[in-house]
Amino acid sequence: MNKKILLISRQAPYGTSTAREAIDIALAASVYDQDIGILFMDDGVFQLLKSQQSQNIDQKNIASILPALALYGIENIYVHQESLDARTIRTNELVLDDLQLLNNKDVGQLLSQQDQLMSF
Amino acid sequence: MSTLHTINKSPFANNTLFSCLKICTESDGVLLLEDGVFGTITSAPGADELQLLIQRGVKVFALINDIKARGLEEKLAPNIEPIDYNTFVQLTLDHRCVQSWY
């Protein structure tokens, strides 16, 4: 039975490996045909900036990995609008363009529809 | 009931409580544990928001062992329900999902 699983990614990239781990788990789980969604909120929205040049710190660019989500069939990619606003990030600065922007109430509803939450 | 939100960071040092409070809905529960119990005292950042949520029907719990360990039992804000470990386990069963705001 497929479970509805939502990964909630709330940490900035590079400072810790948490952000990368969430994406790796999303990609791995999708191979097993799970119903995966991923929500970026709080500092997690910094992962979405297309201006990232992580070669300067010898790390793999998160922004270059994110397009793989769609290739792996993960279409439910959500972003918390207020987290973007608080960091003055506009949607045209984001590396993905098929994102679903959610307000506070939408996020609450999204969480209540899941069978399993994973927090990163 | 839908989601049980657990907070284990002090609201004096961390924004996780606020992230949770923004998105939680009336049928949800919020459990403060570990350093999260510093959020139970009336002077804590977010204390007013917490009381507003309680008025809206959100249930707020705090792990009594962590409250006692930190000497906060006398400072507990009203309408926050102190619970033990067994009740914690029961809460995880009563809710559909658990979201850990670590």
Q: Where are the domains of chain A?
A: 4-119
Answer yes or no: is the ipTM higher than 0.90: no
**Whether A117 and B25 lie within 8 Å, measured CB to CB:** no
**Where does chain B have alpha helices with state H?**
16-23, 47-56, 64-69, 85-94
Domain harbouring B28, CATH code: 3.40.1260.10
SS3 of chain A: the string is CCCEEEEEECCCCCCCCHHHHHHHHHHHHHHCCCEEEEEECHHHHHHHECCCCHHHHCCCCHHHHCCHHHHCCCCEEEEEHHHHHHCCCCHHHECCCCCEEECHHHHHHHHHCCCEEEEC
In this structure, what token pair is assigned to residue B37? 């119990």
**Whether A112 and B15 lie within 8 Å, measured CB to CB:** no
Q: What is the pLDDT of residues A96-114, one digit of tens each?
A: 999 999 999 999 999 999 9
Q: Which domain holds residue B84?
A: 3-100
**Which phi-psi region, left, alpha or beta, contains residue A27 (left: φ > 0; alpha: ψ -120 to 50)?**
alpha
Q: What is the pLDDT of residues A11-64, one digit of tens each?
A: 999 989 999 999 999 999 999 988 999 999 999 999 999 999 999 999 999 999
Average the pLDDT over B17-30 and give the result: 95
The Cα–Cα gap between A79 and A41 comes to 6
CB-based contact B60:B79 (threshold 8 Å)? yes
What is the model's pLDDT at position A3?
Answer: 87
The CATH class of A4-119 is: alpha beta
What is the model's pLDDT at position A2?
Answer: 80
What is the model's pLDDT at position B1?
Answer: 58
**Whether A108 and B28 lie within 8 Å, measured CB to CB:** yes
Q: How many CA atoms lie within 13 A of A88 on its CB side?
A: 0
pTM for this prediction = 0.88
CB atoms within 10 A of CB A19: 23
Average the pLDDT over B15-31 and give the result: 95
Question: Which residue of chain B comes nearest to A106, CA vs CA?
Answer: B23
Q: What is the pLDDT of residues A64-92, one digit of tens each?
A: 999 999 999 999 999 999 999 999 999 99
Q: What is the pLDDT of residues B45-99, one digit of tens each?
A: 999 999 999 999 999 999 999 999 999 999 999 999 999 999 999 999 999 999 9
Task: Return the H-helix or E-strand segment holding B29.
Answer: strand B29-32
The Cα–Cα gap between A53 and A64 comes to 10
Beta bridge partners of A36: A5
Chain A: closest CA distance from residue B7 (Å): 12
Question: Which residue of chain A comes nearest to B95, CA vs CA?
Answer: A112
Average the pLDDT over B11-37 and give the result: 95
Number of folded domains that form chain B: 1
